[in-house]
Structure 1
C-alpha cells in the first residue's frame, strides 16, 4: 500500500487565546500514513486569530486520536492550547503538550517528556514481598504478599528474598488530565504513571501527580500512590464477566 501524504484536519476548537475577550480558532492538521488507522504524523498546529495573520508551528510528535483542548492553565484569564494523543501501542503512553500565545508566537510551556525527565521515579523489589518506589522526597511501599504463589515465585525465593531476574520500573505518563476545581478559574493537570512489574501488563500501582502551570511553569501541588490490590482487580474482572 502506498504511503498516504494528504493532510487532513485532525481536530478544531476555539477560545480566547489572544486576549481575554477574543474568539480565536485553532486547527490541528496532519497526515494519516495509513487510511485505516487513527495514527497521524507530520502534524501542524495552526492558530487563526480573528484580527491577525495565522500562526503555524510544527508539532514534534506523532500519535493516535490526536485532539485539542482549550482552557486557561496559567490563571491569566486567557486560554492555552493543549494537544493530546496516545502512542506506544499496548504501553498506553499519552502525549500532552501545552502552548501559550505570547508576542505573536506560540510558546510551549509543558510537554510529557520534560515532565518525565524532571520528575523521575524508580522502583525496586525488596525482600519479604515488597516494592519500594522512590520519587525524590516521596517514597512509597507496595505489599505484594496477597498475590498468587505462582506469581511471587517468579520474583522471590522460598525464604522471601528477591531473585535477580526482574526489576520493576515507573513508566512514562499514561494519562494527563486537565481538571478544574470549583473554586479555581484555571485548569490543573493530573498526571498518572504506571509502576510496571514482571511484564508490561503487570501494573503494581500508579503514581499520581497533581500540578499547575501558574506563571507558565509547572509546579507540583501533590503526589501520591494509587494502588488497586490484586484481589480487588480480580473481583472487578469477575463482576464484569457475570454481567455479560
Structure 2
C-alpha cells in the first residue's frame, strides 16, 4: 500500500490530471460521451499513455453508481451486449499496440483520432444505415482495437449511435452503458499484458472521486430540451483538449 501511495504521488502533474478527470466526467454526465476525448489528449501531457488508459478504465467504476443506473433502464440490452463482446475480443490487439508503440507516436495518434471524431460530430457525419448484428459486431470490434490502443473507446461507437434509428435517449443510454462496461473489461486485459501498474492503479483510484463528482454534476445539469447546447459545449471542450494536448514539444 505504501508503494502504491508513493508511486501515485510521484506522478507528474497529478493535480492537473485530476482536474481534467473532473471535466471529463462532467461532459460524460451531460452529453453521454466525450470523457476519453477530453481526458486522453490532456492527461498524456503529464503521464504515459499506458498509465492514462489504465487509470481512466479504472475510473469508469464511478460510472456504475453515477450515470449507468439511470441509463440502464433505457438501454437496448441485446445489441449493446453484442458490441461489448466483440470489443472485448479485439481489445487485446489494441492493448498490444499500446504496449509496443512509442508514447509520443501514441499521443499524436490520440490527438488525430480525437480531432477526426470532433470533425465528424460537428459536420453531422453519421452511420445512416439500419444496423444489423454484423454491423454492430464490426463497430464493437473496431472500438475494442482503438480503445485498447489509445483509450478512445468512444469515437467509433459515438458516430454509430448518434446516427442510429432509435430515440436520442436510447442511443445515449446505449453509448453510456457500452463505454462503461468496455472500460471495466479492459482492466483484466491490461493486467494480463503488464500495463496495470501501481501508478495506474493509484491514479485510477484517486480519479474515482473527481470523475464521479463530474458525472453527477453533468447528469444533474442534463436537460433533454437543451441537448443541442450540451453537445456544442462538449464539442468546445473537446476542441480545447485537442489543442492543449498536441505533443508539440
TM-score by length of 2: 0.23
The structure, 1 or 2, with the larger RCO (C-alpha pairs under 8 Å, 6+ apart) is: 2
Greater strand content: 1
TM-score by length of 1: 0.23
Question: Which has the larger Rg?
Answer: 1
Greater helix content: 2
